[in-house]
Amino acid sequence: MRILARLSARTDAAYDNTYHNKLQGRIWQALEDSKYDALHDKNQPKPFVYSNPFPPQDMDEGDERTLLVASPEESLLAHIAEDLTHDRELNIGEMPFHVDKVSPLAPDVGEPGTSGTIETGTGLLVRIPPWRFDDYGMDVNHDQAEFWRPEHTLEPFRTQLEANLDKKHRLYMPDYLAGPSDVDGDLFDSYELIKTFAIPVTPTTGRTEEWVLSKWRFDYTVRDDDHRRHLNLALDVGLGERNSLGFGFINITDQTRPDETELEGENAFP
């Protein structure tokens, strides 16, 4: 589940690529005094993720931007939607917006047999804990969590990614439902790395660190209802770590249903 907020710039502004901590603050402000408020200080994945205000470009007064917030918890999204509707000033650091409209969305990877492509809308954070270095054959000369980089190969990336989603499934799905590690088959058919990059991130007020992130394109074919739920959960809570800072937000960019072919549409009848 998602909410889509249409925004308009209240003044000319340069796009701030370090928006994460500031936007996170507004999300938690919207959740104050709700049952989700206590999650703020818990050391566990949070049940929400959000996009950047896009398109990510410098703006003139009146320019339009869009923000998406996703969660498996409908009531959490209701709190955020109510806050954005009640208080229509959305100030993300030096980027002041007016919230013009908030509406619901329900993206779905599709019924079993559907194939498609998912792309990361924001950078994806995967860190490898030091106690797994030997398992992955990594030669790392420190004892801190290591940011995933291409030289570490795909295995630790895929393993850590799916373990992270497994943890979110245990937290936010009913106990009787099978998680990603309980079923056979991979989460995605293919993993295409688009790029890796490093940015300064302020995880908490007053402390800035440089994090290594990556952007990906994942192909999928929905095997069954369990797999569909796992992929939809990834749409709702994000992939990888620190989703409450906006990392790991993903979108469906292409989809073919079982009763369709890739030639349907404008190319179906040449």
CA neighbor of 186 nearest in space, from 157, 149, 214, 145: 157
**Which two structure tokens, joined as six digits, stand for 62?**
């009146």
Cβ contacts of residue 202 below 8 Å, gap of 6+?
A: 18, 20, 21, 208, 209
Residue type, 10: R
| 41: annotated active-site residue | yes
Radius of gyration for the chain, computed over Cα atoms and rounded to the nearest angstrom: 19
CB contact at 8 A, 4 and 58: no
Tell the residue number behind the tokens 């806050």, with chain if given. Answer: 83
Tell me the CA distances in angstroms from 65 to 53, 60, 171, 192, 202, one per residue in order: 6, 11, 32, 28, 23
Name the catalytic one among 12, 16, 33, 41. Answer: 41
Q: Pull the structure tokens for residue 124.
A: 């994806």
> What gap in Å lies between CA 48 and CA 243, rounded to an integer?
7
Give the bridge partners for 3, in sequence order. Answer: 69, 104
Q: What are phi and psi of 77, to 5 degrees?
A: -65, -35
Distances (CA, A) of 243 to 34, 178, 187, 250, 270: 20, 23, 19, 11, 44
Residue 184 has which token pair?
Answer: 């056979």
Q: What angle do CA 178, 180, 181 make, to 5 degrees?
A: 90
| Residues taking part in catalysis | 41
